[in-house]
Amino acid sequence: MTYLSRLALNPRDRRVQRDVADCQALHRTILSAFPRVDGDARSGCGVLYRLEVGRGEVTVLVQSRIRPGWSSLPTNYLAADAGCKSVEELYADIRDGQALRFRIRANPTKRISPSNPGRRTGPRVDLQREEDQVDWLKRKGDAGGFELVTVRMTTGLGAGRGPQLSEVPDVRVVAGEKVHGWRATPAAGGARLTFGSVLFDGELRVTDATRFREALLGGIGSGKAYGFGLLSVAPARSQ
Buried b (16+ CB within 10 A) or exposed e, 158-168: eeeeeeeeeee
How far is residue 75's CA from residue 78's CA, in Å, rounded to a whole number?
8
pLDDT in tens, 190-235: 688 999 999 999 999 999 999 999 999 999 999 999 999 999 999 9
3-state secondary structure (DSSP) of residue 90: helix
Q: State percent of the chain over pLDDT 90.
A: 72
User: In sequence order, what are the beta bridge partners of 151?
Assistant: 168
Structural domains for the chain: 1-93 (3.30.70.1200), 96-239 (3.30.70.1210)
What pLDDT, on a 0 to 100 scale, did the predictor assign at position 170? 84
Q: Which residue has the higher pLDDT, 116 or 66?
A: 66
Nearest of 15, 25, 11, 98 to residue 59 by alpha carbon: 11
CB 236 within 8 A of CB 207: no
What value does the CA radius of gyration of the chain take, rounded to a whole number of Å? 20
3-state secondary structure (DSSP) of residue 142: helix
Beta strands in the chain (DSSP E): 3-9, 48-54, 57-64, 83-86, 99-106, 109-111, 124-126, 146-148, 150-155, 164-169, 171-175, 179-183, 191-195, 198-206, 231-235
Residue 102 has pLDDT above 90, yes or no: yes
pLDDT in tens, 147-192: 999 875 554 444 455 555 557 788 999 988 889 998 765 455 668 8
Q: What is the DSSP letter of 116?
A: -
Residue 10 has pLDDT above 80, yes or no: yes
What pLDDT, on a 0 to 100 scale, did the predictor assign at position 186? 47
